[in-house]
Chain A
Amino acid sequence: MAVSIIDLCVNCFACEPVCPSHAISEAKPHFMVDPKKCTECEGDFPVFQCASICPIEGAILDSFGVAINPPGSLTGIPPEKMAEAMAELQSH
């Protein structure tokens, strides 16, 4: 059981120091979770520490591959609104 960091990661370093299991390290192209070390914070904290500080929606997935912070959950920007704004920008 382990979480994983995917390519949405912006390399902000926030998760690395908060991991109780030292499972996260700086890597290219983005931070990585060592699945052998990740304990899902079991026994240390009731919530995933990495996913509690990560500012990027969708960057960290649980062991089922589901985003722990789904779109809209952190920024408060409704996903449709984001899509609209992006479409607007593309059209320029």
Chain B
Amino acid sequence: MQLPVLNNTPSQAEHGAKGGCSASSCGTTDNQMDSLPDSIREKVQNHPCYSEDAHHYFARMHVAVAPACNIQCHYCNRKYDCANESRPGVVSELLTPDQAVKKTMAVAATIPQMTVLGIAGPGDPLANPERTFETFRRLSEEAPDIKLCVSTNGLALPDAVEELSKHNIDHVTITINTVDPEIGAKIYPWIFWNNKRIKGIKGAKILIEQQQKGLEMLIAKGILVKVNSVMIPGVNDQHLAEVSRVVKSKGAFLHNVMPLIAEAEHGTFYGVMGQRGPTPDELQDLQDSCSGDMNMMRHCRQCRADAVGLLGEDRGDEFTLDKIEEMDIDYQAAMEKRKVIHQAIQEEMDSKRLEKAVKAQQHQQEPKLTTRPVLMAVATSGQGVINVHFGHAKEFLIYEASPEGVRFISHRKADQYCGGDSTCGDGESVLQLTIRALAGCEAVLCSKVGYEPWEMLEAAGIAPNGEHAMEPIEDAVMAVYKEMAAAGKLDEKNEAVRANA
């Protein structure tokens, strides 16, 4: 089955084939999900990991039930969780399938917004078929209103497709970093296959074949497939556009490129050997070039494998093992309650989507600006509004405003470029680091900005703005953009700006 090519609406094409997340449809940039077939759109639309607006309302969680792995990736240190799905250096508490089922139902009953349960580690879920499938089997029976998803390195995928299709698992994520065994040998030193450890190109070739075969089999079964790739400068960066093309032509609905994060203290091959990760501009350029022919996921924050909560928010502490043991969950009752709440959320989302569509139309009818695009940072805790104080923001959403409209670009952690240790700049304050993380942005929209940061932001050429508190992000970004345009700040063509996102 071949899916239609995303992001190829005419307005996108003349936009230079930019794409991006479905968040940003205030301008003429069509909501890219509109071009997906209905059956798939429905599955994706309310998925907190795939839909930018849904992830303000719905939550997903992961349970760590699968410790073993059958391959080695050069960016992974197996003392920690699978680096394909988790931030490097994180260790999650391993659960038995029984504990995982209890925890999932406890969370679902307490946080009705929790709609998706994923198994993503700490190793490869499909290298632990018994533990993974028992969890899925029980949840399909006992909590049928929870969607299930799984991510894998793909080696054991072909053998698992049949079983996966039985459990109503409609999202599978495969990490595919290459389709070329020679490149593969630089990423995967070995695999365990047919009772042997196989190293080098031979091992990489088998892994690649299994990934591609698994992808094809899942599509043939009608199961949604997302592909993750880790961008490794000098290794697969030039090659990922090809990967994007291949997986798209086979029917993957989404391709998510994540930056390599390599630190010597993680003890990984890349970390120790000094392999660098991509800069934010390199990542964005690649995401842009891939999104020309594929839907890209830009709001992925490389969540923790055992994270609980809305993306970017972690409520794991409320559900430790001792706490869930004490909870007595009546899931039938919880399911009734969940249904009512889901309906209310759905209505709110529908009305907001409608509102957005109306605004997009109005925007189209207004005289078109000819000003250059501008990046702005936004502090929000969700619900699609500006509602976080500058000093409290742990991360910023970066939006690009242009005459075409507003589009979501990426997330930046306030401390993204610093592990908080001595390696980055002597004596820089958190404030300085945060301002550095906002490099390239010309405005920052928050609910409030304090006096000291205000001055420092201005000095750094970033206009602080607290005038749009509680307003919808895209409206506010557009309003600020129009003010800047009216003030004549955007007249000169500044091509360098976009590349700094």
Contact = CB atoms under 8 A, between A and B. Distances in A.
Given A12-B78, A13-B68, A89-B265, A74 B189 contact: yes
A47 B195 CA distance: 8
Interface stretch (B69-77, B350-358, B384-392): B69-77
A17 B190 CA distance: 19
Contacts of B365: none
Nearest to B274: A85
A56 interface: yes
A52 B196 contact: yes
A89 B190 CA distance: 27
Contacts of A43: none
B365 to A, nearest CB: 59
A53 B272 contact: no
A29 B151 CA distance: 29
B272 A47 contact: no
A56 B78 CA distance: 8
A77 B68 contact: no
B264 A85 contact: yes
A81 interface: yes
Given A47-B195, A53-B197, A55-B72, A75 B189 contact: yes
Contacts of A56: 78
Interface in B239-294: 264-265, 267-269, 271-273
Interface string A46-57: 010100110110
Interface centre among A16, A77, A81, A92 (most CB of B within 10 A): A77
A16 B130 CA distance: 13
A14 B70 contact: yes
B27 interface: no
Contacts of B195: 18, 45, 47, 49, 52
Interface in B56-72: 67-70, 72
Contact of B123 (A12, A76, A81, A92): A12
Contacts of A89: 264-265
Given A12-B123, A14-B123, A92-B422, A75 B197 contact: no
A39 interface: no
Given A14-B123, A55-B72, A76 B269 contact: yes
B50 to A, nearest CB: 30
A52 B197 CA distance: 5
A45 to B, nearest CB: 5
B78 A13 contact: no
A72 to B, nearest CB: 10
Interface of B: 67-70, 72, 74, 78-79, 122-123, 127-128, 130, 189-190, 192, 195-197, 264-265, 267-269, 271-273, 421-423
18 contacts: A10-B78, A11-B67, A12-B68, A14-B68, A16-B68, A18-B195, A47-B197, A52-B195, A53-B68, A53-B192, A55-B72, A74-B72, A74-B190, A75-B189, A76-B74, A82-B272, A85-B271, A89-B265
Interface of A: 10-14, 16-18, 45, 47, 49, 52-53, 55-56, 74-77, 81-82, 85, 88-89, 92
